[in-house]
Amino acid sequence: MTTNVGTLDRIFRAALGLGLLYLAFFSGLPAFDGGLLKFAAAIVGVVMLIVAAVRVCPIYSIFGIKTCKA
């Protein structure tokens, strides 16, 4: 697969992923005490971190979007 995630997009995804993982496991907010929202935030956070690490977004590939210059 070709790289389709640019640097700014990668930084945003990493920050969003870390933020969601923090909310899911360490925030102590009542909304994240339940199972569904906690695990949804954790799954989306992990996916965001993986996409930021490998620089390939499957949804971008489907729609032909590239945010990187090369």
Please report, for the chain, the start and end positions of each structural domain, with discontinuous segments joined by +: 7-63
Contact, 24 vs 45, CB < 8 A?
Answer: yes
Spacing of C-alpha 13 from chain mean position: 5
Contact, 65 vs 2, CB < 8 A?
Answer: no
Model pTM? 0.87
Residue 70 has pLDDT above 80, yes or no: no
For the segment 18-32, what is each residue's pLDDT rounded down to a tens digit? 999 999 999 888 888
Kindly give, in sequence order, each residue whose CB lies less than 8 Å from that of residue 61, ignoring residues fewer than 6 positions away. 1, 4
For the segment 20-67, what is each residue's pLDDT rounded down to a tens digit? 999 999 988 888 888 899 999 999 999 999 999 999 999 999 999 999
Give the pLDDT of residue 5.
93
Give the pLDDT of residue 34.
80
Alpha helix locations (H) across 26-67? Answer: 35-54, 58-63
